[in-house]
Chains A and B, each alone.
Chain A
Amino acid sequence: MQLLEVKNLEVSFALRQGDLVALNDISFSLGKKERLGVVGESGAGKSVTGFAVINLISKPGKITNGEILFEGKRLDTLSEKEMRTIRGNRISMIFQDPMMTLNPVLTIGTQMVETLQAHRKISQKEAEAVAVKKLERVHIPSPARRLSQYPHEFSGGMRQRIIIAIALLTDPSIIIADEPTTALDVTIQAEIMDLLQELCNSEDMGLMLITHDLGVVAEVTERVLVMYAGKIIETAKTSDLVSNPLHPYTRGLMNALPGHGTCDTANRLQQIPGTMPNLTEIAPGCSFHPRCEHCQDICSSEVPQLRKISGNDSRFVSCHFAEEGWQNG
């Protein structure tokens, strides 16, 4: 049994102009201790996917179809109260911008202790001891003294470490990290990524890493989902995907990667001509076809299915020519 299984997930935002389908038939799974990357352009639906798992999609968004199974149990049908026992306890989240994530008027200690006390019967003293241990774990110097400090007394990198420490408090099974380094300096980005990787190796948790950065995905994850306009267009073992991307979009992403260094696809993606369509105006057929250099007639009329590539059980691509090879066509 997989730790997390998402089946045919559909998320819509009920807007005034009508429903906007932000996620369309998303299926994936995450094994114990597995590290899964989710990449795609801004607006592809990466964050919505992450939040859907803990049923915390911002209004007016709703899961309109599909199932989410955590350790074999449905999450999407849980009551608010039951869901609370999962959030921040079994599944923790790390947000994008550490400057905005911590509550400015509460001390670090308060924000850590409350998390533990929300999920365990534990005294203030014991909770503080756990907090100190976790702060040590993320290399915060003199952690005991830090508990009484407020977020504004820390740098961005330190805050993201604290947020990671909060995520670790309850020894969760899954951490969902939504672009945990995008808002940080380049040098600090590497530190935080190293830390996350180190933690995943030593603690017993699965990681869902949402990012723009294919370089980071290549370095940190074992498997990867590539998203485009609310759909998964390619999923594979990271090594397979990096060595041989099959979808033209993934290829474009890869081509934008200089050598083996990391790079921010948000900027580099401009190397693929055009931009991702608004979710309300997705073209018929393959949603990528207006930007695809190998576009054929069928691409603008028929929606390609996410199909298994023969000879590789973990590899799925949604492109009419994934196997025939559009390179030659």
Chain B
Amino acid sequence: MFAFIVRRIIQATVVMLVIGFIGFSVKHQLGDPVRDLVGISVSVEEREALREQLGLNDSFFEQYGRFVSNAVRGDLGYSYFFKKPALDVILSKAPATIELVFVSSMLILLLSVPMGLYSAIYPKRFFSRLAMGVSIVGVSIPVFLTAIVLIYVFAVQLHWLPSYGRGDTVNILGWESGLFTIDGLRHLVLPSIALSSIMLPLFIRLIRAEMMEVLETEYIKYAWAKGLTRKRVWLVHAFKNTLLPVITVGGVQLGILIAFTILTETVFQWQGMGFMFLEAVERSDTALLVAYLVVVGALFVVVNTVVDIVYGLVNPTVTIASR
């Protein structure tokens, strides 16, 4: 376990350094911190003095080193638009995104597992064929189309659900949460359906394919020969083996879900990191862009670590210590 943690921390550090490097390069090429600070009504000499003072005339790597050491101390630069440290801005937006991704992931899991298993066990039934057909179509529909259709039907025409914003939130230990108010949950419905619609077909097909393969194995035939009930064979013997590849692929896919929040949040005016990211692009708020990259990178690392741990728990041939 200890070796696993150490290795994970080293991996995470390398990943974060690479992300930081990319982020910094972007900032170095695009951003002009002096303009960010003082605007355009300052003389050339004064600007030059300021550049020298800020160390902007130092070499690229000196500046990168400074960027890293600042970042380690939680300083990811200053958002000139919000007039606040970039990290503070991001962190205030993060709960909205994390909750959206969390609810979408839960939706994906709760729907794809039963649907995938069912259509593997009864491949010829009407529902299975329907699920397969719909999922082929589903994979190819872009998110914002799904989102717009959802908004049109459920918000504009039927007036059942709100179509933008997070609604009422409650502050729990500094975390703005929409999960604990009816209004907040109502606001979550459409965005999380839209976001999960990207991955849901893929997960159903993945689980179905793996399950069908597992059902053909000798150990499943043996489980039948032992006289076990269907429930036991399907849900314990087969499902547990189906889980392994699903966790590996699924973990990566859930990470990718974070990237899709940019689109979803924009369509639904969801005040999260993705929405803020696009705004920051429009305003050329480079410090904020870099901070976004770093925070999302960190989220990826966390998700992957959790996935690895879960995988180790399910698969006895991989003891966490030996990875």
Give the interface of A toward B (CB within 8 A).
54, 56, 58, 84-89, 92-93, 95, 97, 100-107, 114-115, 118-119, 150, 152, 166
A58 touches B221 (CB 8 A): yes
Q: Whose C-beta in chain A lies nearest to the C-beta of B241?
A: A105
Give the docked Cα–Cα distance between A213 and B316 (Å). Answer: 36
Residues of B within 8 A of A85 (CB): 227
Query: Within 8 Å of chain A (Cβ to Cβ): is B43?
Result: no
- Which of the residues B218, B225, B237, B317 comes within 8 Å of A106, measured between beta carbons? B237
What distance in Å separates the Cβ of A86 from its nearest Cβ neighbour in chain B?
Answer: 7
A84 touches B227 (CB 8 A): yes
What distance in Å separates the Cβ of A133 from its nearest Cβ neighbour in chain B?
Answer: 18
Give the docked Cα–Cα distance between A58 and B220 (Å). Answer: 11
Chain B 41-80 near chain A by CB (<8 Å), digits 1 or 0: 0000000000000000000000000000000000000000
Given the known inter-chain contacts A101-B222, A104-B316, please indicate yes or no for A118 contacting B232, CB distance below 8 A: yes
What distance in Å separates the Cβ of B247 from its nearest Cβ neighbour in chain A?
Answer: 12
A115 touches B316 (CB 8 A): no
Query: Within 8 Å of chain A (Cβ to Cβ): is B298?
Result: no
A56 touches B226 (CB 8 A): no
Give the interface of B toward A (CB within 8 A).
217-219, 221-229, 232, 236-237, 240-241, 244, 314-317
A-B contact sample (20 more), CB < 8 A, given A102-B222, A103-B222, A103-B223 = A54-B225, A56-B225, A84-B228, A84-B229, A88-B226, A101-B218, A101-B219, A101-B222, A103-B219, A104-B219, A104-B241, A104-B317, A105-B241, A105-B314, A107-B316, A114-B232, A115-B227, A118-B227, A119-B227, A152-B317
Interface hub of B227, B228, B229, B244 (most chain A Cβ within 10 A)? B227
Residues of A within 8 A of B226 (CB): 87-88, 92, 114-115, 118, 166
A100 touches B217 (CB 8 A): yes
Give the docked Cα–Cα distance between A122 and B144 (Å). Answer: 56
Interface hub of B218, B236, B314 (most chain A Cβ within 10 A)? B218
Interface hub of A56, A97, A103, A119 (most chain B Cβ within 10 A)? A103
- Which of the residues A56, A92, A107, A114 comes within 8 Å of B228, measured between beta carbons? A114
What distance in Å separates the Cβ of A16 from its nearest Cβ neighbour in chain B?
Answer: 15
A-B contacts, 20 listed (Cβ < 8 Å)? A56-B221, A84-B229, A85-B227, A88-B226, A88-B227, A88-B228, A92-B226, A95-B225, A97-B218, A100-B217, A100-B218, A101-B218, A101-B219, A103-B241, A104-B219, A105-B314, A115-B228, A150-B316, A152-B316, A166-B226
Q: Whose C-beta in chain B lies nearest to the C-beta of A150?
A: B316
Residues of A within 8 A of B227 (CB): 84-89, 115, 118-119
Residues of A within 8 A of B217 (CB): 100
Q: Whose C-beta in chain A lies nearest to the C-beta of B315?
A: A105
Give the docked Cα–Cα distance between A312 and B218 (Å). Answer: 41
Give the docked Cα–Cα distance between A103 and B225 (Å). Answer: 13
Give the docked Cα–Cα distance between A133 and B93 (Å). Answer: 61
Give the docked Cα–Cα distance between A88 and B222 (Å). Answer: 9
Give the docked Cα–Cα distance between A85 and B222 (Å). Answer: 15
Give the docked Cα–Cα distance between A118 and B226 (Å). Answer: 8
Residues of A within 8 A of B314 (CB): 105
What distance in Å separates the Cβ of B24 from its nearest Cβ neighbour in chain A?
Answer: 44
What distance in Å separates the Cβ of B37 from its nearest Cβ neighbour in chain A?
Answer: 58
Residues of B within 8 A of A95 (CB): 218, 221-222, 225
Residues of A within 8 A of B228 (CB): 84, 88, 114-115, 118
B219 touches A100 (CB 8 A): yes
Give the docked Cα–Cα distance between A105 and B316 (Å). Answer: 6
Q: Whose C-beta in chain B lies nearest to the C-beta of A152?
A: B317
Q: Whose C-beta in chain B lies nearest to the C-beta of A119?
A: B227
Residues of B within 8 A of A150 (CB): 316-317
Given the known inter-chain contacts A95-B218, A101-B219, A150-B316, please indicate yes or no for A87 contacting B225, CB distance below 8 A: yes
Give the docked Cα–Cα distance between A12 and B187 (Å). Answer: 58
What distance in Å separates the Cβ of A198 from its nearest Cβ neighbour in chain B?
Answer: 23
- Which of the residues A88, A100, A102, A119 comes within 8 Å of B225, measured between beta carbons? A88
Give the docked Cα–Cα distance between A87 and B317 (Å). Answer: 29
What distance in Å separates the Cβ of A58 from its nearest Cβ neighbour in chain B?
Answer: 7
What distance in Å separates the Cβ of B167 from its nearest Cβ neighbour in chain A?
Answer: 43
Given the known inter-chain contacts A87-B224, A150-B317, please indicate yes or no for A102 contacting B219, CB distance below 8 A: yes
A106 touches B240 (CB 8 A): yes
What distance in Å separates the Cβ of B5 from its nearest Cβ neighbour in chain A?
Answer: 24
Residues of B within 8 A of A114 (CB): 226, 228, 232, 236
Give the docked Cα–Cα distance between A243 and B217 (Å). Answer: 40
Give the docked Cα–Cα distance between A102 and B218 (Å). Answer: 8
Give the docked Cα–Cα distance between A234 and B88 (Å). Answer: 86
What distance in Å separates the Cβ of A118 from its nearest Cβ neighbour in chain B?
Answer: 5
Residues of A within 8 A of B218 (CB): 95, 97, 100-101
Residues of B within 8 A of A104 (CB): 219, 241, 316-317
What distance in Å separates the Cβ of A122 from its nearest Cβ neighbour in chain B?
Answer: 14
Give the docked Cα–Cα distance between A83 and B219 (Å). Answer: 19
What distance in Å separates the Cβ of B208 from its nearest Cβ neighbour in chain A?
Answer: 17
Residues of B within 8 A of A107 (CB): 316
Give the docked Cα–Cα distance between A95 and B224 (Å). Answer: 12
Give the docked Cα–Cα distance between A107 and B240 (Å). Answer: 12
Residues of B within 8 A of A105 (CB): 240-241, 244, 314-316
Give the docked Cα–Cα distance between A56 and B224 (Å). Answer: 8
Give the docked Cα–Cα distance between A95 and B226 (Å). Answer: 11
Q: Whose C-beta in chain A lies nearest to the C-beta of B314?
A: A105
Give the docked Cα–Cα distance between A102 and B315 (Å). Answer: 14
- Ranked 8 nearest A-B pairs via Cβ: A88-B227, A88-B226, A87-B227, A100-B218, A150-B316, A93-B225, A103-B219, A84-B227
Q: Whose C-beta in chain A lies nearest to the C-beta of B317?
A: A152
Q: Whose C-beta in chain B lies nearest to the C-beta of A59?
A: B216
A103 touches B229 (CB 8 A): no
Give the docked Cα–Cα distance between A104 and B222 (Å). Answer: 12
What distance in Å separates the Cβ of A261 from its nearest Cβ neighbour in chain B?
Answer: 30
What distance in Å separates the Cβ of A109 from its nearest Cβ neighbour in chain B?
Answer: 12
Interface hub of B222, B223, B226, B229 (most chain A Cβ within 10 A)? B226
